């Protein structure tokens, strides 16, 4: 049995010192939003509790599906790398970027350079970067494929993008993993499902992504972005593919969205007969105490 942990939307805080020149961009709206809303509901004490519980579960691998940062300030890039180093060794943790990690032009390049060891595909000469996603890593018979939907957008927009280049490369990776008998887990920040996110936050290229899964197949898709613990299905080559979202890992109790959670996916079986179960663990209403919120079988 392979134990895969999934967390997302870390939104590490507090924000580092912000200079006026840093706010001459879309960051001004994000900064106001942080001060009014996120600063009160997203904080490191919650994340620390989630990570401690996650480590106690002793997963075989961890996937972080984006939004480690808030405004993608230089100080946040460094802070997020230090957080990843504390979370686990690069070979044990895989990361894909989110829209907040690409908040302004140039931010995603800096994030990819900093997080490269956690986005380095097996056998690749260098880590993934813009124009070179997805990346694939095989751990214990599980093929983890990291897709990037992150891109810089204008004020009041948080949309993602999945284009033809990634679609072609993703299809080839899915075929390769299937031919080698691996269970295929795809990680992406934005939910690749229609209606899962508001129009200004949606993934552009949902149809393209779903066609890749329909033609090439996958066993599981993991995403973040919505800050909600959700479950959808999309059509795959051999039947429905579960699409699983998760609450924001830094969300405190009392906010508009569910309090912090993370997922544990237990994967067993063999090619053509993979069995996947989901356990959600998170804040249970008693301070920073973590408990099991849901257990369900995704495929059997």
Provide CB contacts within 8 A for 89, sequence distance 6+: none
Does the pTM of the predicted model rise above 0.85? Answer: yes
Question: Under DSSP, is residue 152 helix (H, G, I), strand (E, B) or coil?
Answer: coil
All domains of the chain in start order, with CATH: 2-299 (3.60.21.10)
Contact 270, 2 (CB under 8 A): no
Report the pLDDT value the prediction gives residue 74, as an integer from 0 to 100.
87
So what's the pLDDT on residue 15? 52
How far apart (Å, rounded) are the C-alpha atoms in residues 204 and 202?
Answer: 6
CA distance 255 to 4: 27
Q: Give the pLDDT of the chain (300 residues) as one tens digit per residue.
A: 999 999 999 998 655 455 445 445 554 454 345 445 555 555 568 999 999 999 999 999 999 999 999 888 888 899 999 999 999 999 999 999 999 999 888 999 999 999 999 999 999 999 999 999 999 999 999 999 999 999 988 887 899 999 999 999 999 999 999 999 999 999 999 999 999 999 999 999 999 999 999 999 999 999 999 999 999 999 988 889 999 999 999 998 888 899 999 999 999 999 989 999 999 999 988 778 899 999 999 996
């Amino acid at each position: 049995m392979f134990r895969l942990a999934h967390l997302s939307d870390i939104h590490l805080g507090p924000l580092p010192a912000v200079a006026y020149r840093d706010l001459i961009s879309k960051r001004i709206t994000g900064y106001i939003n942080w001060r009014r809303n996120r600063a009160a509901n997203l904080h490191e004490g919650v994340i620390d509790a989630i990570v401690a519980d996650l480590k106690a579960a002793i997963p075989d691998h961890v996937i972080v599906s984006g939004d480690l940062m808030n405004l993608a300030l230089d100080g946040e890039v460094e802070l997020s790398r230090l957080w990843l180093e504390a979370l686990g060794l690069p070979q044990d943790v895989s990361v894909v970027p989110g829209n907040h990690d690409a908040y302004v032009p140039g931010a995603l390049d800096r994030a990819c350079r900093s997080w490269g060891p956690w986005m380095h595909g097996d056998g690749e000469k260098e880590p993934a970067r813009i124009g070179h996603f997805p990346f694939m890593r095989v751990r214990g018979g599980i093929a983890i494929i990291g897709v990037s939907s992150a891109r810089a957008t204008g004020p009041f927009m948080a949309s993602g993008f999945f284009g033809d280049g990634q679609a072609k490369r993703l299809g080839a990776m899915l075929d390769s993993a299937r031919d080698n008998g691996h269970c295929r887990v795809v990680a992406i920040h934005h939910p690749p499902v229609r209606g899962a996110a508001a129009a200004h936050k949606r993934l552009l290229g949902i149809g393209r992504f779903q066609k890749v899964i329909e033609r090439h197949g996958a066993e599981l898709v993991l995403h973040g972005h919505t800050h909600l613990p959700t479950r959808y299905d999309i059509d795959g080559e051999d039947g429905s593919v579960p699409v699983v979202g998760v609450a924001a890992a830094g969300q405190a109790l009392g906010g508009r969205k569910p309090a912090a959670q993370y997922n544990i996916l237990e994967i067993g079986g063999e090619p053509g007969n993979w069995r996947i179960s989901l356990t959600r663990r998170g804040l249970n209403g008693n301070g920073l105490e973590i408990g099991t919120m849901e257990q369900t079988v995704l495929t059997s």
